Amino acid sequence: MMTQTRLVEVRQKVLKHNDVAARALRQRFHEAGIFVVSLVASPGAGKTAFLEEMLRGLRQRWRVAALVGDLATDNDARRLARAEVPIRQITTGTVCHLEAEMIAHAIKDWNLNELDFLFIENVGNLVCPSTYDLGEKLRLVLLSVTEGEDKPLKYPTIFHTGDVAILTKIDLAAAVEFDRAAAHANIQAVRPGMEVFEVSAKTGTGMDRWMRFLESTAGVKAKGDIANCSG
Partner 1 sequence: MHELSIALSILDVAGEEVERRGASSLVGIHLKLGPLAGVVKEALLSAFDLARENTAWPEVQLQIEEVPIVAYCPRCQSRCGVESPQMLCCAQCGTPTGELVSGQELDIVALEIQ
Give CA–CA dist 186/172, Å, rounded: 19
Q: Which is nearer to partner 1, 153 or 172 (CB)?
A: 153
Give yes or no for residue 1 binding partner 1 (CB under 8 A). Answer: no
Per-residue contact track with partner 1, 24 to 53, x per CB under 8 A? ------------------------------
Please, which residues have CB within 8 angstroms of residue 202's CB and are 6 or more apart in sequence?
Answer: 49, 169, 171
Candidate list 10, 72, 174, 181; residue touching partner 1; CB under 8 A: 10
- Chain residues 145-184 in contact with partner 1, contact rule CB under 8 A: 152-153, 156-158, 160-161
Candidate list 127, 172, 182, 220; residue touching partner 1; CB under 8 A: 127
Beta bridge partners of 165: 141, 196
Closest CA to 57 of 211, 217, 223, 224: 211
Please, which residues have CB within 8 angstroms of residue 28's CB and are 6 or more apart in sequence?
Answer: 112, 135
Give yes or no for residue 95 binding partner 1 (CB under 8 A). Answer: yes
Candidate list 78, 109, 144, 189; residue touching partner 1; CB under 8 A: 189
CB 53 within 8 A of CB 121: no
Distance of CA 177 to the CA centre of its chain: 26
Candidate list 63, 104, 131, 137; residue touching partner 1; CB under 8 A: 131
For strand 87-91 and strand 138-144, is the pairing parallel, antiparallel, or unpaired?
A: unpaired
Binding site for partner 1 (CB under 8 A): 3-18, 95-97, 127-128, 130-131, 152-153, 156-158, 160-161, 188-194
